[in-house]
Amino acid sequence: MQAQPVIVIHGGCGGFEGGHASYTEYGQHLRPIVESAHAVLMDKGARAAVLTAVMALEDDPLFNAGTGAKLQADGEARLSAALIDSASKIFSGVINIRRVRHPIEVAERLSHQQNHVLSGQQAQQFARQQGMADYDPVVAHRRVEYEQQLAGRHGTVGAVAVDRNGMLCAGTSTGGVGREYPGRVGDSPTIAGTYASATAAVSCTGTGEEIVNLAVAPRIVDRVDNGLALGLATAHIEEQARELGYQFGLISVDQQGHYSIAATEGIVTLYAVYQNGRVGCFIE
């Protein structure tokens, strides 16, 4: 069956903790990113589109990933990202890497290596071996946030896409939650927060510990693999999260080009969709 190509991106769910911009401004930042990623989707497919979107989100200081990442308790920005697509079926990721511009690019390079996930100093070493230059992702508003002890609980960017050949891809990148114990690992660079199969792709945002507890992304994907509609699969997880009082959001697509967004109570997920010549920016 021919898929209806679609790309969905998210700018996290904690955009307002630091009060850096309004909903409208977040939409203005998301729109050109989803538009250029959609052009790549039509030309080069889902994986290239997801990489384009996540790298652009990492470059935008408004979002908590790459440039503009939050700082951990010791005042350092440590970045995590992951990528997976239905063709390679390889999950690759980078955990708590410092001083790189595009953590998702490190994850991409790792997918071609024997070892697919690296962390900390060794991940940084790998990035330098790959020719990635030293880069300081810390911006002034995050330093102020850190100094004012504004410890957020959320923040992440991500993208999911399906191309006309039915190939699916998910990518996620984050600066963590802010003021966390140095070295803490959330959901984004694990399959709990970033996962895809031949039938569905999911990228999560929100409280990493809770997303990991529920194994959110693989449980949605597994249900779709077993024939459940994507909307019902995300609704089931959303319901379980509500019962537990968990706080997170997610974006997902299936092989036919349906997409589904979820957000638990008290959470605002900022996202943008491009499908069938139509683009929109929304909050859920």
d(CA 105, CA 83): 9
For ligand GLY, the closer of residues 124 and 173 by Cβ is: 173
For ligand GLY, the closer of residues 45 and 206 by Cβ is: 206
Active-site residue, from 67, 156, 190, 205: 156
Q: Give the one residue of 176, 178, 218, 257 binding ligand GLY; rule: CB under 6 A.
A: 176
For ligand GLY, the closer of residues 3 and 263 by Cβ is: 263
The answer to whether residue 52 forms part of the interface with ligand GLY (CB under 6 A) is no
Q: CB of residue 64 vs ligand GLY: minimum separation in angstroms?
A: 8
The answer to whether residue 177 forms part of the interface with ligand GLY (CB under 6 A) is yes
Number of residues forming the site for ligand GLY (CB under 6 A):
11
For ligand GLY, the closer of residues 45 and 176 by Cβ is: 176
Sheet (strand 259-263) strand order: 194-196, 200-206, 248-254, 259-263
Q: CB of residue 90 vs ligand GLY: minimum separation in angstroms?
A: 22
Range 135-174, binding ligand GLY (CB under 6 A): 156, 174
For ligand GLY, the closer of residues 203 and 255 by Cβ is: 203
Q: CB of residue 137 vs ligand GLY: minimum separation in angstroms?
A: 15
Q: Give the one residue of 67, 205, 247, 252 binding ligand GLY; rule: CB under 6 A.
A: 205
> Is 156 noted as a catalytic residue in this protein?
yes
For ligand GLY, the closer of residues 45 and 152 by Cβ is: 152
The answer to whether residue 206 forms part of the interface with ligand GLY (CB under 6 A) is yes
Cβ within 8 Å of residue 132, ≥6 positions away: 100, 101, 102, 105, 106
Q: Give the one residue of 187, 214, 234, 237 binding ligand GLY; rule: CB under 6 A.
A: 187
Q: CB of residue 209 vs ligand GLY: minimum separation in angstroms?
A: 7
The answer to whether residue 96 forms part of the interface with ligand GLY (CB under 6 A) is no
Burial group, residue 256, by CB count within 10 angstroms (0-12, 13-18, 19+): middle
| Residues labelled as active-site residues | 156
Applying CB under 6 A, the residues found at the interface with ligand GLY are 156, 174, 176-177, 186-188, 205-208
